[in-house]
Amino acid sequence: MKRRGRVVALGAVTAVLRDGRSLSGAFDAAAAGLEDPREGALARELAFGVFRWLPRLDAILPRLMTRPLKRKDTDVRAILLLGLYQLLFTRIPARAAVAESVALSREIGKPWSDALVNAVLRRFQREGARILESVTTSEPASYAHPGWLIESIRRAWPDAWQRILEAGNSQAPMTLRVNARVSTRDAYLERLKAAGIAAEPAPYTSHGLVLQRPSEVDALPGFTQGAVSVQDAAAQLAAPLLELELGHRVLDACAAPGGKAAHLLESGPAEVTLVALDKDTRRAPLLQNTLDRLGFSCDVIIGDATSPQSWWDGVLFDRILLDAPCTASGVIRRHPDIKYHRRQSDVDALARVQRSLLEALWPLLAQGGLLLYATCSILPQENQQQVLEFVESRSDATPYPIESEWGRAAGPGRQILPGDHGMDGFYYALLAKR
Ligand SMILES: C[S@@+](CC[C@H](N)C(=O)[O-])C[C@H]1O[C@@H](n2cnc3c(N)ncnc32)[C@H](O)[C@@H]1O
């Protein structure tokens, strides 16, 4: 019964837990070559589900075992987590969930593990209700987020923290951005309808469509030809904020995989010169693929935005987009492994990186130009605090008001909280150069 899908989920979960891989990367690698879309959907549901609920599953597991598993048996732990996830959060019949987990344990060459998997999952069937009641008295197990993050979110958003945590445990919708150079949103909506795919306009966007159910990209009409891209509605708010004009020279300083760069090219006047920079040699090809699929060309540079002397030609930019590396605390629903990978100390470290990016890029902006600072974080240290401190340190930087109805005012910019109108959590602040 969908054994391949479970094997893929096991491969992905093990790679994240054991090797520290990102879930999306590990999942794509494990799922390569999987042909049956139903197997793929099951694999995704199980692997992403385990990380969505990991803080709770991790609290339950030790109560079902007499001895902890060794690190070298991370694959067995992954089988148990997958089994618990199925028993707790899916409609898969319990008997099938246990039997399939035992069958999965026979795939890993550890003959002792099938008895253990069977015993642990059966014990959960007998004692689960009591164990669940006792573990969910702790906040991390109850809200399924790490304790430090719950605390940071509660402090930052006292009126919304529980809603934010709930959004972090939900499944994000699939949202599309219709290529404005190819068609209108209404025309593409008709194409979707004809293909049997239900969707509705994404609020606050001119070209966003939210699908009723996620779809394989290959099933989207014209995807390969660049008619449409996958991008959350919150991310689609970046390009219009930059108010591109004819002849502008624009820098996208952290551009891979190219979602916002492509949107700039789609929505701005044709005569805009875009330099798309990213320092990650593995991510830069994704940026090129995005541009190729959409039929755009621009100057793609692999380089470090904090050392412009290594890549900049000395000509100032009228617009700079700094979509900064961040904790990604606003997109946990899309990348639930953030709950596992992120540490509290990362916030300080990332805030330092963001500050150095701001410092390095500001001199590249022409007088009268605009810099858009963006993160997919909801933590003030990376957002309003960061931008405020920067503005206070520079006499030539002034906040440029964002006149919009989305999000809420946060320091010099605006914050969208995860789940607001179905969107990802994002922060935007515009700075003008005097
Ligand atoms: C939030 S992602 C950008 C997403 C992209 N703007 C989009 O819309 O598809 C941040 C990117 O910053 C890049 N990055 C991090 N530090 C950098 C640096 N010092 N110079 C250039 N790029 C950097 C990362 O490789 C990553 O691709």
Q: Quick check: is 254 catalytic?
A: no
258 Cβ inside 6 Å of ligand 1: yes
Q: Confirm if 266 and 317 have CB atoms less than 8 A apart.
A: no
The H or E element spanning position 390 is helix 384-393
Average pLDDT, rounded, for the chain = 97
User: Among the CATH numbers 1.10.760.10, 1.10.940.10, 1.10.287.470, 1.10.620.20, which is that of 3-141?
Assistant: 1.10.940.10
Nearest CA, atom 15, ligand 1: 325
Is the CB of 286 inside a 6 Å radius of any atom of ligand 1? no
Q: Which of 230, 236, 278 to mutate to test the pocket of ligand 1 (most atoms within 8 A of CB)?
A: 278
Q: Which two tokens stand for residue 177?
A: 């951005």
Hey, whose CA ends up nearest to atom 2 of ligand 1?
325
H helix or E strand, kind and range, residue 292: helix 284-294
State the architecture of 235-433 in CATH terms.
Answer: 3-Layer(aba) Sandwich (3.40)
Q: Does domain 175-230 have CATH number 3.30.70.1170?
A: yes
3 pLDDT band, cuts 50/70/90, is confident
User: How many whole angstroms separate alpha carbon 303 and alpha carbon 256?
Assistant: 12
Could you tell me how far CA 329 lies from the centroid of its own chain? 9
Q: What whole-number distance in Å separates Cα of residue 156 and Cα of residue 292?
A: 41
Which residues make beta-bridge pairs with 331?
Answer: none
**Closest ligand 1 atom to Cα of 287:** 9
382 within ligand 1 shell (Cβ under 6 A): no
344-372 per-position pLDDT tens digit: 999 999 999 999 999 999 999 999 999 99
Mean pLDDT of 370-396: 98
The reply to whether ligand 1 has any atom less than 6 angstroms from the CB of 257 is: yes
- 211 and 176 in contact (C-beta within 8 Å)? yes
Amino acid at 237: L
Of 305, 311, 321, the residue nearest 252 (C-alpha): 321
Is the CB of residue 305 below 6 angstroms from any atom belonging to ligand 1?
yes
Nearest to 357 by CA among 328, 378, 393, 386: 386
- Residue 40 pLDDT level (bands cut at 50, 70, 90): very high
> Where in the chain are the domains?
3-141, 175-230, 235-433
Q: Of 229, 242, 254, which is best to mutate to test ligand 1, by the most ligand atoms within 8 angstroms of its C-beta?
A: 254
Distance 297 CA to ligand 1 centre (A): 19
Residues 111-139 pLDDT 10s: 999 999 999 999 999 999 999 999 999 99
Q: What are phi and psi of 176, to 5 degrees?
A: -115, 155
Atom 6 of ligand 1: nearest residue by CA position = 255
Confidence class for position 1, pLDDT limits 50, 70, 90: low
